Structure 1
């Protein structure tokens, strides 16, 4: 454990853990009855931090109405996931990101105490405040937006954090802040969580890097997707070791489209997702996608879809 203040904060959150607003409501799903955990914090809280400390937990299998990020803070535990109906071993330092309504339960039966820390984010808050900054990563956007079209998708993200990851430090700060709540705690926590999500997005990209055995076309397209807000033909050529002129001739052979058309496809598909599933303004979406001004975005969108973005927002 790191420091008296942090230890005291964990102890306090652990004492409060059994007394959170555990409200499991029954909801029918595909002919079955499911338990849906409602928001665990106060109604006026958009984000919160919780911690379990102990050597035994047999949590009821349930779904939840919010996004959550759980950490194996100290020791190991098992996460029971509805995905493939399996138990996932969470080793110390592991991170588990869950969607709203994904099936989940904590399991632990250990000789020593373990600490499980959780960062919880209201669904509406996540879509409004946190989706935009990660929207350049198409795979992450699809993960976080999937619950809006498939309420019980049961997807999750799981990976191990390096010991020197800044995520650990951010989590410690959030634990201390939430355990010692002040009037402005929500204002303090929300940017910390944004930083954490950005680091998680980076770790996710690093853990899902394209290997050399993938077809060149997949590597090129995936790199463009991940950098679609800033990518240029010269950037793409430099990353893969090609001359821009050679690459400009290669892309039509691989995709049947030139660089500009490919980039427009990627940006417009992201624009449609953001307009359909978030409350981001058109100006904000234009900026997220890499457009220097909303006027250029309007023109591109209307040319691509035959309608204005405002007709969907």
Structure 2
């Protein structure tokens, strides 16, 4: 959709939202207000958001319930279409500018500050079941997005419950086009728009993953003055059975401590986490495509302790190796 038509579509729906909105859902204010007073935030459940589709698009406006700290039982994309906002997430204040995207998981407690009159912010709400079904497998090859959702779905502890994509990071990709298509489909509701939004959001995540990976490579190559971070991760993946942080550091002429710091900075994962990801993925592949015993697979992928492998495998997949093989 050309930008002029998209702007007119957003503006028309935004004005309609402003004109039709009452103050806050005053009839239910006592409920969420009490939650905020007791625990510092209220829980926004999926309610009627997903009656007709697994994805819903909504405007963020200056009403008390929208400005109060809260978390959801679904995922959310905050997109600043016009203007700028502050977004306080888990106590950390984030400044977002026009074009910025913030992806929030179901554990994030956040609060958007009161907006200027001309500011337009859209929220794309995504039901959990979307990822527990088809999306979970489609995104498996894209570690950045996949890990973010998988950790939230299985309620793992995360250092950060959000991912921020500034416009400058993704502006040379098709991500903005995908994002605006989701919004336009949700507003116009043409035939099969539900399917269109679900397919398009996969493309959006793929574009954001590519953009982030490219950013990682540029920034890490500049800091390392040599190989970028993807080359180091690739080396780990090629030698995952017996590689160590010491052998990897020696290969790329770094001190092990420096290498560990660089990996954490640019991938968000420790050396051990990266190794574990490669080993578990290899184990899953052997379970799906061979008849080897689980004991053989444990040894082949580099684990010396079978009990430890079973624990890690269940944490990563939500099931035992035997259950995974049968599914």
Q: What is the TM-score of this pair, normalised by structure 1? A: 0.67
5+ residue gaps, structure 2, are 250-273, 299-305, 311-319
Once the two structures are TM-superposed, the CA of residue 216 in structure 1 deviates from its matched residue by 7.6
1:93 pairs with 2:99 = yes
Query: 1:42/1:67 Cα in 2 relative to 1: closer, same or farther (>3 Å)?
Result: closer
Query: 1:73/1:182 Cα in 2 relative to 1: closer, same or farther (>3 Å)?
Result: same
1:299 pairs with 2:292 = yes
Query: Which protein has the bigger helix share?
Result: 2
CA–CA separation in structure 2 for the residues paired with 1:66 and 1:15: 25
5+ residue gaps, structure 1, are 234-249, 257-262, 273-284
CA–CA separation in structure 2 for the residues paired with 1:127 and 1:224: 31
Spell out the pairing of 1:1-313 with structure 2 (5 A cutoff). 2-4=3-5, 6-12=7-13, 15-16=16-17, 18=21, 32=39, 34-39=41-46, 41-52=49-60, 59-82=67-90, 85-110=91-116, 112-147=117-152, 148-150=154-156, 155-162=161-168, 163-209=171-217, 210-211=220-221, 212-213=223-224, 220-223=231-234, 254=247, 266-270=277-281, 286=285, 294-296=288-290, 299=292, 303-305=296-298, 309-312=321-324
Once the two structures are TM-superposed, the CA of residue 255 in structure 1 deviates from its matched residue by 5.5
CA–CA separation in structure 2 for the residues paired with 1:252 and 1:51: 47
Instruction: Report if the CA contact (8 A) 2:45-2:72 is conserved.
Output: yes
CA–CA separation in structure 1 for the residues paired with 2:247 and 2:100: 39
Once the two structures are TM-superposed, the CA of residue 172 in structure 1 deviates from its matched residue by 1.9
Query: 1:57/1:43 Cα in 2 relative to 1: closer, same or farther (>3 Å)?
Result: closer
Who is 2:254 aligned against?
none
Q: What is the TM-score of this pair, normalised by structure 2? A: 0.64
Query: 1:106/1:15 Cα in 2 relative to 1: closer, same or farther (>3 Å)?
Result: farther
Query: 1:215/1:63 Cα in 2 relative to 1: closer, same or farther (>3 Å)?
Result: farther
Instruction: Report if the CA contact (8 A) 1:13-1:52 is conserved.
Output: no
Instruction: Report if the CA contact (8 A) 2:105-2:161 is conserved.
Output: yes
Instruction: Report if the CA contact (8 A) 1:36-1:101 is conserved.
Output: no
176-185 or 94-103: bigger deviation: 176-185
Instruction: Report if the CA contact (8 A) 2:100-2:164 is conserved.
Output: yes
CA–CA separation in structure 1 for the residues paired with 2:64 and 2:172: 29
Q: Is the partner of 1:189 in helix, strand or coil?
A: helix
Query: 1:130/1:204 Cα in 2 relative to 1: closer, same or farther (>3 Å)?
Result: farther
Kindly tell me the number of residue pairs found equivalent between the two proteins. 267
Query: 1:97/1:252 Cα in 2 relative to 1: closer, same or farther (>3 Å)?
Result: closer
Q: Is the partner of 1:108 in helix, strand or coil?
A: coil
Instruction: Report if the CA contact (8 A) 1:49-1:118 is conserved.
Output: yes
Once the two structures are TM-superposed, the CA of residue 106 in structure 1 deviates from its matched residue by 1.5
163-172 or 216-225: bigger deviation: 216-225
CA–CA separation in structure 1 for the residues paired with 2:228 and 2:66: 47
Query: Which protein has the bigger strand share?
Result: 1
For residues 197-251 of structure 1, the C-alpha deviation after alignment (integer angstroms, 9 at most, x for no partner) is 11111122223333453998976552357xx6xxx68xxxxxxxxxxxxxxxx98
Once the two structures are TM-superposed, the CA of residue 268 in structure 1 deviates from its matched residue by 3.3
Instruction: Report if the CA contact (8 A) 2:50-2:127 is conserved.
Output: no
